[in-house]
Structure 1
Amino acid sequence: MNNEVVVITGASAGVGRATARAFARRGARIGLLARGRDGLDATRRELEDMGAEALALPTDVADADQVERAAEEVERAFGPIDVWINNAMVTVYSPILEMKPAEYRRVTEVTYLGYVHGTLSALRRMHPRDRGVIVQVGSGLAHRGIPLQSAYCAAKHAIKGFTDSLLAELHHDESHVRVAMVDLPAINTPQFDWARSRMPRRPQPVPPILQPEVAAEAILSAIDQRRARSWLDFSTAKLILADRVVPASLLDRYLAKNAYDGQQSDEPAEPHARDNLDSPVPGDHGARGRFDASARRRSAQLWMSQHRAGLAAMVLGVGLLGGLVAMRIRANGWA
């Protein structure tokens, strides 16, 4: 995978930043897209210190023309794009009755249409070449909406529907362009410090929480294992499966009771905190948020997914050994 050309949106912080580091370690040349110049430049310097080539491109993914220009610049600098990762997002923590139409529009333009714009720019290049990978960084909330994040949940649901349609069309075309949708659980990123919020206490990810490096590992695994759809961690699987099997009325009541407090820490909200909905928050915010103490650095489910062939062989071997022992016992009249 050395010298692959990768584009990552939302690359200046959080999961995007951790994913950029992961690709840098395997020798990729990386186009970094985000709005904030401070974070982009810091990420570029970090990757260059790791020995990677990186290009920082200030881009608002809500603007299709900006995304297309960034794609052109990446290919001009590095050559054909091999992997495009759609990851940029914004959200608003607020009851629906207090939401403003402009906030719904902005979250939709970034968190959903940003993925559409990125996918279209990638497809324009990959489809004629009949190769390449597009990664949609999704969420368990693409399958089940929760209170206080209606705009974000709706955008993630839209990404899932768009991606399902895209996969079907690529199969119809017998295209070798691949798509991977990786649904994430709660991740310790800076978004909980800069998201717009009307809650009385500071936002937090709903436990259990994983570090962004685990999400980056899951993204690379989905690419390498050629998986079209994957869920990171048992917590994501539980949410998705609960939505499929638990009566909706019971799940609604459960979320009504638990999801309000679950998304708020014990710290009071900062009354004049700056948010990143309409413009980036200045500074370099890194990959991790403020929840290091409670965030896990490993996922048993991811490990099992990465080693499923070996685990299947082990189970088969144990089954065969058990069968041979049983046959030996019967042949010797021990049972």
Structure 2
Amino acid sequence: MDDNSRVGEARRFAAALALRAGLDELEAGRLAIVVTELGTNLVRHAQRGQLLLAVREEAGDVEMVAIDHGPGIADIRRSMDDGFSTGGTPGTGLGAIRRQARDFELHSSPEGTLAVARVGRAQAAALAAAPAIEVGGVSLPLRGEIVCGDAWAAAVEGTRTSVIVADGLGHGLDASEAAQAALDVFAADPWRAPRVLLEVIHARLRSTRGAAVTLLQADAASNRLRACGAGNVSARVLSGAVDRSLVMQHGTAGLQMRRPEEVEIEWPQHALLIVHTDGIASRWEAQRFYPLLMRDPALAAALLLRDHSRERDDATATVIRRRM
């Protein structure tokens, strides 16, 4: 978002996504307002701003993630008030977003500001039916590619979730085909044991170039986590008291892989489950994520992408948390 013309471009793209999401005229209007305000703030106030938009088909909404590299918002609470402005404008931006979006959360520091907003169908009903577990993610292709060779998906049922993150070898169309094939297997039966799912994925991907795959199943009621994977898709359990990386076996689903073995550990009450592909550096400081432990998981995914993307490959970060 480096020019005012980008705001109009984002608004037109959002209109197309509104049709895909099945939003009515009123909801599409809300979406246009939120996209305009987020985009305008990035152009006027931010350094290296990005605005990401995607349809979440199962949720029936359009999600927007705004990412920038500074200078940050000095007083978030005051900035949310209508009439407050640092740029000579009417100052209705953040307040308008808060009113029009079903979900809106913001995290800011001198390193930059992250925001997530969603506009969707039947907003009040959707909010009332909020699940016990939230999953958020950000996935971006290598610059210059038209598709992403990474992919992720999640199923949530009651107090449990099942998540897959796949990284097709290389990037571009062939990598995307491999990653999507893994997601197709997952979607057919996401609650099968992770080791069984990985074996089925391995067989399905033999006709593709292959992919690194990690599968997680977590239950907030039993506080247990099961994981299984092949290749360099990293998984980490993180809270103020716990920081544990889950070691996945070597190999590539669809090419060469040992018999899958599962890891089962405790899922502490306030811990995030963070899964990311190798387009994101594996060494990052846990302390940066402490302010986000109780926040929308898409914020943590955006932080990981902004500060630790290698920028030479597709990059995906997926974050799971309990809704407290």
Q: TM-score, normalised by structure 1?
A: 0.29
Higher strand share: 2
Q: Name the larger-Rg structure.
A: 1
Higher helix share: 1
